[in-house]
Amino acid sequence: MRPCALVTGASTGIGYELALLLARDGHRLVLVSRDRERLESAAARLRAEVPGVAIETHPVDLADPDGLEEVCARAAHLAPDVLVNNAGFGGYGPFARTSPAEEAAMIATNVTALTMLAKAVLPGMLERSTGRILNVGSTASFAPGPFAAVYAATKAYVLSFSEALAEETRGSGVTVTALCPGPTHTRFAARASMGGTRVFRGPVAQAGEVARIGYDALQAGRSVVVVGRVNRLMLFAIRFTPRRIVALISRRELSEVAPA
């Protein structure tokens, strides 16, 4: 039987590219994302790219508690060899004026769904003494994000949670990896209304490149991987910088700039 990988947010962007790498590596895929049409079209592209790949699709809004419960039950039953917790989205604006419903859905997707899916598969992985979990964080995991306050806080959670699980599972045969990309060409910036910010006007990575780095780190069982040399340097410098200054720099990066 081929190994099984469950990937959330697999319809597009980084999640799609990770699903493609897993398929090429011989995995059966269980794909989850919100929009049915986008998910089915991604599955069709994957079947064309990797003939013979077995794909099961679940068009589910992970922010919906019933949808999440359904996916968690399926995940526990399937006992995947690999879980990729990639589904997530951001938002932009002063916290006093952003939509509470949108932010509640962001926390439910980026934090609750990621946590509950890990809970659904980890006991089985530990019993079998094998398994890999990849949680997608961000460079935003390392600093507060003025004007993207809730998003950055959800990604700080992803990093802290992943590092804790990596330590809890050390030596068990199960590994937990946090993939922390910087700005990447996907639908993310448009959905988050962040396309006009300074951070997306600088160098922006390709989704395929980010997925490859994440996949290699997953295979190697690394606990954290930050994408990009400049991002790694910046995050190293943050360790020696007072948090107040880090917030200030972050505010500048997240400010909107006039179109080029």
Ligand X SMILES: NC(=O)c1ccc[n+]([C@@H]2O[C@H](COP(=O)([O-])OP(=O)(O)OC[C@H]3O[C@@H](n4cnc5c(N)ncnc54)[C@H](OP(=O)(O)O)[C@@H]3O)[C@@H](O)[C@H]2O)c1
Residue 16 falls in the annotated catalytic set: no
What track of x and - describes contact with ligand X for positions 33 through 72 (by CB under 6 A)? xxx--x----------------------xxx---------
Query: H or E stretch including 224?
Result: strand 224-226
Residues between 12 and 31 with contacts to ligand X, criterion CB under 6 A: 12-15
DSSP assignment of 107-158, as one string? Answer: HIIIIIIHHHHHHHHHHHHHHHT-EEEEEE--GGGGS--TTSHHHHHHHHHH
Residue 112 CB, nearest approach to ligand X (Å): 10
Interface segment toward ligand X; rule CB under 6 A; list 74-82, 87-95, 122-130, 213-221 = 87-95
How far is the C-alpha of 155 from the C-alpha of 136, rounded, in Å? Answer: 8
Q: Does 117 bind ligand X (CB under 6 A)?
A: no
Residue 215 falls in the annotated catalytic set: no
Residue 234 CB, nearest approach to ligand X (Å): 14
170's CB contacts (< 8 A; 6+ apart) are none
> CA neighbours within 13 Å on the CB side: how many for 62?
27
Which residues have a catalytic role annotated?
A: 151, 155
**Residues at the site binding ligand X, with contacts judged by CB under 6 A:** 9-15, 33-35, 38, 61-63, 86-90, 109, 136, 138, 181, 183-184, 186-188, 191, 207
